[in-house]
Amino acid sequence: MDKIRTRRRPPAADGAPTEMDSDQRSKFEIVAREDFSDATYLLEIYHPLMAKAARPGQFVIVMAHEHGERIPLTIADYDRDEGTITLVIQAVGKSTREMQQICTVGHCLHGMVGPMGMPSEIGQGQKVLCVGGGLGVAPIYPQARGFKENGASVIAVLGFRTSSLIFWKEKFESCCDEVIVCTDDGSAGLEGRVTEGMRLALEKHPDIDECVAIGPPVMMQGAAEMTRPQGIKTMVSLNPVMIDGTGMCGGCRVKVGDQVKFACVDGPDFDGHQVDFGDLMARLSRFSDEEKAAMQRWSEHCRMAQQPDGLETPPTAPEK
């Protein structure tokens, strides 16, 4: 597995950002990047003020370039000493693939705003199950760490499609009492989805009193169903389509119980037993036709740009 990690070190000898250093850094500069797989990548973005303000469970909205979309991304980690925000991104659509191409170390995002949303409530649970599926493994990390710092016993269940996509296992091992890895194809850890890992954990630890699950909607739904019989409090983090992230557009409205909530300002964390996942998944497909068209167009442009006589550039604004 090829994991390439690049980082631009601050010029100060001790590695701590100095005043001079912060002057030299541009706004929203990418200071480190790590590729977990050919589709998943990590970016560390310099934003000391945000690193100071961020709490587990919050998210940012980034714009890669002037013509870009506003993309909501859950904060995977933050480093107050280095002044950075960590994002883990999966290249699934046009915008995230394009970011994968242009977001190299030293590149500056057009914009990054946040931290948005209500911070997760790190509850008083004594034994907590933290479930992350795929990309959701990243944002579950600050929560696991938060629970540990609160004195809870933390069991992590991390689900991936296959062994080559596994990331941050060591990071979790450093702050969790137990880490269960599941892969869909059984190439590492337990074979099956995260629910298999959860079943194992729940059998072994009947005293689990709180659960947090982050991942694709169908995974969070499955996780919520696992804990429903025992009535274990289960929080999930929703990431619907949104534009402003400040409650202004209402695009991110979700059904929770009998109420309509805006994920950006009322969430993104909600009680998993109350969330209407069917509604969430339907709303996530709102722009699927447009997304497909944009993706196709983008791929064609990339292909043409790779041809020796392909003079055409990608359809969006080039890197500045």
Partner 1 sequence: MAKKRTIRTIPQERTPVAEQDPGERIRNFDEVSHGYGKEEALVEADRCLMCPEQPCVAGCPVGVNIPAFIQKVTEKDLRGAYDVITTTNLLPAVCGRVCPQETQCEGVCTVGDTLEPVAIGRLERFVGDMAIAAGWANVPYIEPSGFRIGIVGAGPAGMACAADMAKAGCEVTVYEAFHQSGGVLRYGIPDFRLPNEVIDAEMGNLEKLGVHFECNTLVGRLFTIEQMIDELGFHAVFIGTGAGYPNMLGVPGDSLNGVLSANELLTRCNLMHAREFPNYDTPMPPARHVAVVGAGNTAMDAMRVCLRLGAEEVSCIYRRSRAEAPARAEEVHHAEQEGIRFKWLTNPVAVLDDGEGGVSGIRCVRMELGEPDDSGRRRPVPVAGSEHDIEVDLVVVAIGTNANPIIGQTSKLALNKWGYIETDEDLVTSMPGIFAGGDIVTGAATVIEAMGAGRKAARNMRRYLGIRDADAPYRASGADTLFGIDLRERNFVRIQTST
The answer to whether the beta carbons of residues 182 and 160 sit under 8 Å apart is: yes
Q: Amino acid letter at 84?
A: T
CA–CA distances in Å: residue 27 to residues 6, 109, 119, 256:
19, 8, 24, 37
Give the pairing of strands 71-79 and 84-90: antiparallel
CA–CA distances in Å: residue 1 to residues 163, 164, 171:
9, 6, 18
Site for partner 1 (CB under 8 A): which residue of 34, 188, 291, 304? 291
Residue 146: CB atoms within 10 A of its CB come to 23
Select the span of 105-113, 125-133, 192-200, 214-222 touching partner 1 (CB under 8 A).
105-113
Site for partner 1 (CB under 8 A): which residue of 10, 68, 72, 222? 68
Burial class (CB in 10 A: 0-12, 13-18, 19+), 312: exposed
Using CA atoms, how far apart are residues 236 and 197, in angstroms rounded to an integer?
A: 17
* Helices and strands per DSSP (H, E), number in the chain: 10, 16
**What minimum distance in Å lies between the beta carbon of 75 and partner 1?**
11
DSSP code, position 108: B
Site for partner 1 (CB under 8 A): which residue of 39, 91, 105, 249? 249
Site for partner 1 (CB under 8 A): which residue of 1, 218, 260, 305? 260
Site for partner 1 (CB under 8 A): which residue of 56, 57, 114, 272? 114
Select the span of 5-13, 146-154, 179-187, 245-253 touching partner 1 (CB under 8 A).
245-253
Q: Based on CB atoms, which residue is closest to partner 1, 42 or 51? A: 51
Q: Based on CB atoms, which residue is closest to partner 1, 37 or 221? A: 221
The answer to whether the beta carbons of residues 180 and 189 sit under 8 Å apart is: yes
Number of residues that bind partner 1 (CB under 8 A): 49
Using CA atoms, how far apart are residues 316 and 320, in angstroms rounded to an integer?
A: 12
Q: Would you count residue 286 as binding partner 1 (CB under 8 A)?
A: yes
**What minimum distance in Å lies between the beta carbon of 194 and partner 1?**
26
**What minimum distance in Å lies between the beta carbon of 115 and partner 1?**
5
**What minimum distance in Å lies between the beta carbon of 119 and partner 1?**
9
Q: Would you count residue 113 as binding partner 1 (CB under 8 A)?
A: yes
End-to-end alpha carbon distance in the chain:
32
Q: Would you count residue 110 as binding partner 1 (CB under 8 A)?
A: yes
Give residues 148-207 in contact with partner 1 (rule: CB under 8 A).
Answer: none
Residues that bind partner 1 (CB under 8 A): 28, 49-50, 53, 58, 63, 67-70, 94-95, 110-116, 118, 243-251, 253, 255, 260, 262, 265-266, 279, 282-283, 285-287, 289-291, 293-294, 297, 315-316
